[in-house]
Structure 1
Amino acid sequence: MPQTRWRRSSRSQNGANCVEVSPGAIRDSKNPGPTLTADIPALIAAVKRFQP
């Protein structure tokens, strides 16, 4: 089984509040066990459209 390659957010600050992504999944770098499976391009588009 190939190992998943995770990429940390460029907005990460010294390891705090980090999000890591891989093809089709997202996880919290401080708690790397559970992952959220998602369509990453669709998720990014939705986040960019979000306006509080």
Structure 2
Amino acid sequence: MESIHPDLIWIKSSYSGPNGDDCVEVVMNLPGLIAVRDSKDPAGPMLTFSPTAWNNFLAGIRSGEI
């Protein structure tokens, strides 16, 4: 995906492990979209969320619902 979208700025989650395992990266510089990928597979699939869906997803994680 990096070569398709070279302007994306991926940010590693602060909850990612120090050894580089179980890392999630998020890009927030897409207009109207939040993208998420596994940092171990940067050319692999990415999930995209609307800002509202992303906030609902995070709220579900924080509340333990997800």
Q: Give the alignment's TM-score, normalised by structure 2.
A: 0.64
Aligned length: 52
Structure 1 segments (4+ residues) deviating >6 Å: none
In structure 2, relative to structure 1, the CA distance for the partners of 1:47 and 1:3 (3 Å cut) is: same
Is 1:28 the counterpart of 2:33? The answer is: no
Q: Secondary structure at the match of 1:31?
A: coil
Structure 1 stretches lacking a partner, 5+ long: none
Match for 1:49: what amino acid?
A: S
Partner residue, 1:11:
15
Match for 2:35: what amino acid?
A: A
